Amino acid sequence: MKRVLIAGGAGFIGSHLCELLVKQGNEVICIDNFYTGSKRNISRLLDFNNFEIIRHDVTFPIYLEVDEIYNLACPASPIYYQNDPVQTLKTCVHGSINLLGLSKRLKAKIFQASTSEVYGDPESSPQSESYWGRVNPIGIRSCYDEGKRCAETLFFDYHRQHGVSIRVARIFNTYGPHMRHDDGRVVSNFIVQALRGDPISVYGDGRQTRSFCFVSDMITAITKFMEVSEEFCGPLNLGNPVETTIIDVARQVVDLTGSKSKIVHCPLPYDDPRQRKPDISKAKKVIDWEPNIDLRSGLIQTIEYFEKDLSGTTA
């Protein structure tokens, strides 16, 4: 049994990670400032003796004794990270420094949840780990994009300079239960609008693409990556390589919900990437992983979650 710290553990992906590690018998400490995380996401874990939650902001140091650290502390939704861009950047940079310092002191392995946004609006597809990206350093998305890029730099410098055992994963669009209904991301937006009978807001012509990975597949990948040998520490693309247009996602959601909602087109947000498609050949080789759940199956499970969430019956 390991003692594991999960920063951002009450968030969308973090809560699923907490649940898996707790059920495996590990002692899990979840820290979260609840800016985008929710107590409801981890409420069913509160009765477990091997689970503990601490309200804490990672921009301030924390002193604990643990064997492993997962850093998922940062809002990933444009609505939330753009609402307080300075704090977003501090979370990426100061948060990484604080958790890396803890990892260095304890000699604890540490995982960094980086993002496909480090590639910016890419000039090549699919995006491989060797691609350096095309990112606007002063745009409205820069607090997140450049914050995550700087976090990667910190992780690799701590690894090279101090011998810290790191794992850096670039997570592509992930969806599923525990997403916030108001986070403004594609899947949650479309499902909530469809269930409410509101117009489905497609930005631009809808021909921009994303690659959607169901959360259970992502959690499997993250935990497998944490267990690989010291020879490979990343960066590692994690995501679904099946590319889908935004307009097609909207149509699938309308069909699966039986909604009468109409699709409407809105102005494309500034610096919105035109394409996302991960090259996961390295993940297949290094951690023997690829996603198993197709978009339709994942959408059905996510719609069931939101139906309960909007009716107030979700635990």
Q: Which residues have a catalytic role annotated? A: 144
| Backbone phi and psi for residue 49, each to the nearest 5 degrees, phi listed first | -70, -20
| Cβ–Cβ < 8 Å for 266, 201 | yes
Is the CB of residue 209 less than 8 Å from the CB of residue 243?
A: yes
Which tokens go with 248? Answer: 């097609």
Return the structure tokens found at 60: 């301030």
Q: Determine the 3-state secondary structure of 168 from DSSP.
A: strand
Under DSSP, is residue 112 helix (H, G, I), strand (E, B) or coil?
Answer: strand
Instruction: Take residue 84 and report the two structure tokens written for it.
Output: 């307080």
- Both structure tokens of 305: 């979650």
Residue with tokens 């039986």: 258
Distance CA 235, CA 166 (A): 10
Q: If we measure between CA atoms, which residue out of 60, 44, 73, 136 comes closest to residue 101?
A: 60
Closest C-alpha among 269, 225, 256 to residue 77: 269
Amino acid code (one letter) for 173: N
d(CA 8, CA 14) in angstroms, rounded, equals: 6
- CA 214/CA 16 separation, integer angstroms: 12
User: What angle, 0 to 180 degrees and rounded to 10, lies between the N-to-C axes of helices 85-106 and 142-162?
Assistant: 20
User: How far is 14 from 32, CA to CA, in rounded Å?
Assistant: 10
